[in-house]
Amino acid sequence: MIEAAIISTGDELTTGRTTDTNAGFIADKLLTLGVDVVAILTVGDRPERLRWAWTEALRLAHLVIATGGLGPTADDLTTETIAALFARRLVTDPEVAARIRQLFALFNRPMPDNNLKQAAFPHGAVIVPNPLGTAPGYRLEVGSPADPRHLVVLPGVPREMRPMLVDSVLPWVATLAGDEPIGCRTFQTFGISESGLDEVIATIPGEGRWSFRANFPEVSVRVTVRGRDIAARLDAFAREVYAQLGPYIYGEGDTSMEVEIGRLLCERRLTVGVAESCTGGLVGHRLTNVAGSSAYFRGAIAAYANAVKEEMLGVPRALLERHGAVSEEVAAAMAEGARRVLGVDVAVATTGIAGPDGGSADKPVGTVCIGLAAAAGGTTRRYQLWGTREWVKLLASQIALDWVRRHVLGLPLLEIGRRDPVPAAPGREGVAPG
Amino acid sequence: MIEAAIISTGDELTTGRTTDTNAGFIADKLLTLGVDVVAILTVGDRPERLRWAWTEALRLAHLVIATGGLGPTADDLTTETIAALFARRLVTDPEVAARIRQLFALFNRPMPDNNLKQAAFPHGAVIVPNPLGTAPGYRLEVGSPADPRHLVVLPGVPREMRPMLVDSVLPWVATLAGDEPIGCRTFQTFGISESGLDEVIATIPGEGRWSFRANFPEVSVRVTVRGRDIAARLDAFAREVYAQLGPYIYGEGDTSMEVEIGRLLCERRLTVGVAESCTGGLVGHRLTNVAGSSAYFRGAIAAYANAVKEEMLGVPRALLERHGAVSEEVAAAMAEGARRVLGVDVAVATTGIAGPDGGSADKPVGTVCIGLAAAAGGTTRRYQLWGTREWVKLLASQIALDWVRRHVLGLPLLEIGRRDPVPAAPGREGVAPG
């Protein structure tokens, strides 16, 4: 097991102007190689702070991965700091310099001289190509041959850093981490809690390291195995995971609920439409986050006012008066209306009380009714959700999307939220009332 | 000027399971008091790593603010670590212990014994109340009277930590930071770049510290002043800011575009509706993120398919055929249609090419037309936006919302995006083509 430290550099991080997403991304990826992150050190663009970070990081770990400070301006100090700390002279790489000149020419822009700074590397560095920007990264071995330390330096722009890490750095880290093969599979789930997953996973035999990552309202589960027969052992784990958790797993690897729904709808040549009340447009927004969604998504009607539910979706006024807008009856009529007026194969509807006001004893904040209409008929259900307005909207949109997925796959409806609206132990995020 | 270090604790951070938003929140707030953050140290729940973090943080700064590790379980080690490092015995606070018991009783839950761990504090600690959870925080002075060091420990749950920091910790930090009064005002802007703002701000005379925070697609500008006549000097700055940037400023302090629009529409008793194509529901989603939005938001029609534009919004087929769905003519018809069918005072419409595919020479990816319809007539405009699909959608939704704001206030339309679709220097996030 090797250990790593991460350095995140930039005044934007130490002044709170930007949230650091790089360190978490790197830590998560390192974990798939069995590399443990001992610390993340974040400093601004100041020589003495960078020196502190590098000195401490190398004291803590044999592998240090840093992002930021590779830009062309005077406050980008990472390379100078490393060169000075390890007494390496800076060497300009002619190929990198030519590429930077070329990029500026391509965009018809004059190149400021200091941009060539990005072509200078500490002597001995191995360049890590940056397909999406001007500044390549690099790695460098320092220390004694008996106790080598490995430095990796990447740009701070996440869009550039991520492919560089995944395509160039991780395969090299894998060789560092030893000859022992390692592999993993990541299952994306919705509708079951982290502790619920944990209980199920605990019953699965076999040598694997399981980890969870909660990203409300979803949880991903990853299993990492080392040694022999990686593929066969991962397949065996996957069979067990699907056997026990099947309906909760919407995909594997880097994907999302809306991407998976898009794939399913395309495969089966089905179209989808939405009638939204409490989600206000969020379901449509999420469906259209997928490139090419116009192939299956025809439209969404966010009918917030009751008159709009009547006029645009044909929900009978009597139904609204008798059951209230937040009712399974109205959810059913909204879904059926959307299916008709949008001319789609499947329509899903949301109506609920997102809060923080508007609740009653009968229908407290978090009450959400979902409806689905398809050629074979309709289904509705009432859920008791919890949390802030934002959470109720997000969770309602997720359930609506999951209904579409389960409908297409012929799976039973989600049971989440059927439980009492009782918070778990006070003070635990994710389950307390908002 | 005092300096601070921040410690973020938790395995969920060093394994990438959770993104740390606490450190940035704290850094941003400290800056309003003129306190500079020298480093952020992030470690998992391991005694030796916590010892490293506390030792280094106190070597770097006189003030250390830490979050996390205050939970009831065995891997919550912050208090034990501090007690051991500074040779303080742990003392149980009877009031805190009683409150924890009470909270569990309130939720009808048995209290595990280890929850009382959260009522134990290092001798000498001053408790920082936690109105939203079981674990209070505390502060502690260590070191010699000639060179005191101040420790602040807060829970890791952001919802609990934030009010504790703002209500209890910051007022105390302000006294630490010296007797010199300090004050700030923060202006929220949209439609002008960070560098554009910087140019304008540079011309404003007077002694103030200006800082910018980009949160795509918005930028906030804050001015901090110290010394005498804080309020009068801030007012003078604000007058100058409004004189020079007025139409770009949509609000001050902790607010959002949708909250400000809601306030304006309520004040003027106007209703709003939306017709969305490329934004797919995002404008409606954002409007309904505001509690009480049902007072002015009636509905949004995400008409993705052309047939839905015709049938639900009454866009003439001839118009779609002649100009294409992405045209100012169709944007106008969508807005007018939404105004009519939703029965609202103001309707705004979006139609565009979010990408990554679907562009042409005439209408490249990022082409977005916005339309607005009101009693007095309609307006349309075509913008050339840039970036990923996600960014084009977000920026289009923001422009649509800003049109509503500017319409209600009688301001001229936004000029953003009228510029050529040329990216800035390659490799800079925020302006490069997606």
Give the per-residue SS3 of chain A: CCEEEEEEECHHHHCCCCCCCHHHHHHHHHHCCCCEEEEEEEECCCHHHHHHHHHHHHHHCCEEEEECCCCCCCCCCHHHHHHHHCCCCEEECHHHHHHHHHHHHHCCCCCCHHHHHHHEEECCCEEECCCCCCCCEEEEEEEECCEEEEEEEECCCHHHHHHHHHHHHHHHHHHHCCCCCEEEEEEEEECCCHHHHHHHHHCCCCCCEEEEEEECCEEEEEEEEECCCHHHHHHHHHHHHHHHHHHHEEEECCCCHHHHHHHHHHHCCCCEEEEECCCCCHHHHHHCCCCCHHHCEEEEEEECCHHHHHHHHCCCHHHHHHHCCCCHHHHHHHHHHHHHHHCCCEEEEEEECCCCCCCCCCCCCCEEEEEEEECCEEEEEEEECCCCHHHHHHHHHHHHHHHHHHHHHCCCCCCCCCCCCCCCCCCCCCCCCC
Q: What is the pLDDT of residues A66-98, one digit of tens each?
A: 999 988 777 789 999 999 999 999 999 999 999
Q: Which of A6, A7, A14 to mutate to test the interface with B (most CBs of B within 10 A)?
A: A14
pTM for this prediction: 0.83
d(CA A207, CA A187): 17
Residue A203 is predicted with a pLDDT of 92
d(CA B103, CA B133): 9
Instruction: Name the closest residue on chain B to residue A212, using Cα atoms.
Output: B17
Residue B416 is predicted with a pLDDT of 58
**Chain B neighbors of A357, CB-CB under 8 A:** 291-292
**Chain B neighbors of A280, CB-CB under 8 A:** 281, 284-285, 287-289, 293, 297, 300
User: Domains in chain A, please, with CATH?
Assistant: 3-176 (3.40.980.10), 182-252 (3.30.70.2860), 259-409 (3.90.950.20)
Nearest CA among B11, B6, B127, B13 for reference residue B58: B6
Q: What is the pLDDT of residues A215-233, one digit of tens each?
A: 788 888 989 898 899 999 9
Q: Do A308 and B297 touch (CB under 8 A)?
A: no
Out of B19, B49, B283, the one facing A24 most closely (by C-beta) is B19
Instruction: Name the closest residue on chain B to residue A160, using Cα atoms.
Output: B427
Residue A416 is predicted with a pLDDT of 58
Average pLDDT, integer, range A267-271: 98
| pLDDT at A274 > cutoff 50 | yes
Average pLDDT, integer, range A286-296: 97
Q: Helix, strand, or coil here: B347? A: strand
Out of A20, A24, A429, the one facing B159 most closely (by C-beta) is A429
**Chain A neighbors of B37, CB-CB under 8 A:** 14-16, 44
Say how many CB pairs under 8 Å bridge A and B.
315
- Percentage of residues in chain A with pLDDT exceeding 70? 95
**Chain A neighbors of B132, CB-CB under 8 A:** 427
Q: What order do you get walking across the sheet with A377-384 strand by strand?
A: A377-384, A367-374, A346-352, A272-276, A297-303, B297-303, B272-276, B346-352, B367-374, B377-384
Phi/psi at B333 (5° precision): -70, -35
Residue A164 is predicted with a pLDDT of 97
Q: Which of B213, B294, B341 to mutate to test the interface with A (most CBs of A within 10 A)?
A: B294
Instruction: Compute and round to an integer the Cα radius of gyration of chain B.
Output: 26
Instruction: Name the closest residue on chain B to residue A391, using Cα atoms.
Output: B289
Average pLDDT, integer, range A135-149: 92
Would the CA dihedral through A15, A18, A24, A29 be positive or negative? negative
Phi/psi at B417 (5° precision): 80, -5
pLDDT band, residue B433 (cuts 50/70/90): very low
Instruction: Name the closest residue on chain A to residue B26, using Cα atoms.
Output: A16
Q: Do A285 and B279 touch (CB under 8 A)?
A: yes
Do you find a cis peptide bond into B205, omega within 30 degrees of 0? Answer: no
Nearest-10 crossing angle of helices B389-409, B257-267: 30
Out of B16, B299, B356, the one facing A312 most closely (by C-beta) is B299
Average pLDDT, integer, range A99-120: 81
Q: What is the pLDDT of residues B377-428, one digit of tens each?
A: 999 999 999 888 998 999 999 999 999 999 999 998 876 543 333 233 333 3
More confident residue, A127 or B74: A127
Tokens 């997102």, residue? A354
pLDDT band, residue B180 (cuts 50/70/90): confident
Determine contact, residues A187/A252, Cβ cutoff 8 Å.
yes
Q: Do A16 and B28 touch (CB under 8 A)?
A: yes
Residue A280 is predicted with a pLDDT of 98
Phi/psi at B378 (5° precision): -125, 165
Residue A71 is predicted with a pLDDT of 82
Average pLDDT, integer, range B31-59: 94
pLDDT band, residue B356 (cuts 50/70/90): very high
| pLDDT at A337 > cutoff 50 | yes
Tokens 């809060």, residue? A355
Ramachandran category for residue B34: left, alpha or beta (phi over 0 → left; psi -120 to 50 → alpha):
left
A355-369, A409-423, B202-216, B221-235 — which is least confidently predicted? A409-423
The single-letter code of the amino acid at A35 is V
Q: Which two tokens stand for residue A145?
A: 């041959």
Q: Which of B116, B308, B357, B394 to mutate to test the interface with A (most CBs of A within 10 A)?
A: B308
pLDDT band, residue A421 (cuts 50/70/90): very low
Residue B204 is predicted with a pLDDT of 94
Nearest CA among A286, A415, A396 for reference residue A352: A396
DSSP H or E run through B395: helix B389-409
More confident residue, A26 or B181: A26
Instruction: Name the closest residue on chain A to residue B28, using Cα atoms.
Output: A16
If you average pLDDT over each of A113-122, A199-208, A333-342, B412-421, which comes out highest?
A333-342
Summary mean pLDDT of chain A: 90
Residue A72 is predicted with a pLDDT of 79
- Percentage of residues in chain A with pLDDT exceeding 90? 70
**Chain A neighbors of B25, CB-CB under 8 A:** 16
DSSP H or E run through B389: helix B389-409
d(CA A6, CA A64): 6
Would the CA dihedral through A257, A263, A267, A273 be positive or negative? positive
pLDDT band, residue B293 (cuts 50/70/90): very high
Q: What is the pLDDT of residues B77-95, one digit of tens each?
A: 999 999 999 999 999 999 9
Residue A320 is predicted with a pLDDT of 98
Strand ranges, E, within B44-155: 63-67, 90-92, 120-122, 126-128, 137-144, 147-154
Residues forming beta bridges with residue A140, ordered by sequence position = A151
Out of A23, A132, A304, the one facing B299 most closely (by C-beta) is A304
Residue B260 is predicted with a pLDDT of 98
| pLDDT at A432 > cutoff 50 | no
A114-128, A335-349, A396-410, B284-298 — which is least confidently predicted? A114-128
DSSP H or E run through B408: helix B389-409
A93 alpha-carbon distance from chain centroid: 36
Residues forming beta bridges with residue A121, ordered by sequence position = A91
**Chain A neighbors of B106, CB-CB under 8 A:** 426
pLDDT band, residue A108 (cuts 50/70/90): confident
More confident residue, B423 or B241: B241
